[in-house]
Amino acid sequence: MANTQDNNRKPVNGSPSDGDVLVAVFDKTIFVKPFGFATQQNVLGLPDFLNTMFREGSKKVTFDLQECRGMDSTFLGVIATAALNPAFRTKKNVIIINAGPKAKKQLRRIGLLNVVAFKEEPCPPPPDLQLSRIDFFHLPGSEKERIKRIKELHEQLIRLNLRNRKNFSSFVKMLDEELEGDDQH
């Protein structure tokens, strides 16, 4: 199957910049490759994109972390959301490739190595893979939607294990309070 191209993805012209998150769909596998730091500043649109691609028939998602210099808990929540997708419950259809030792340690600490496939050996992308920048038109459109998305992603991390519950419950509670405060205004 050829790469899926649609209106929200643009082929990469020139070298990717720090903060870019590039994607492709190839043979029913979604490829996600962050450059620089993967944080709430550049990944909040990914869950909608992944869900759309799953609805359109994609069966797996591969996160290529070769160019990723760091991940915040929001990006880890994106990985958890994909891995905990009900369609993947019995299989590890989320694959992490080309992660360095620091990233692997972070994935282990957060509990993701229990729910994803982790490839130790270097994995080159398919030769015909054409990564594209996403126009995150589906990014949360308001501050309230942004806070709600961050909360949802951290709730996925909490689902992984008790350690995450201890680490993120206060943060999620604070986000809940902020959302409740917005509702009262």
Give the model confidence (pLDDT) of 2-36 as tens digits: 344 444 445 555 678 888 999 999 999 999 999 99
For the chain, give every domain's residue range: 9-139
To the nearest whole number, what is the mean pLDDT of the chain? 88
Q: Does domain 9-139 have CATH number 3.30.750.24?
A: yes
Tell me the pTM. Answer: 0.88
Higher-confidence residue of 133 and 182: namely: 133
Q: Is the Cβ–Cβ distance between 28 and 153 less than 8 Å?
A: no
Q: Is the pLDDT of residue 82 over 70?
A: yes
All residues at 6 or more sequence positions from 94 whose CB lies less than 8 Å from its CB, including other chains: 60, 61, 62, 63, 79, 82, 83, 88, 115, 116, 117
Structure confidence at residue 44 as a pLDDT band (50, 70, 90): very high
Structure confidence at residue 87 as a pLDDT band (50, 70, 90): confident
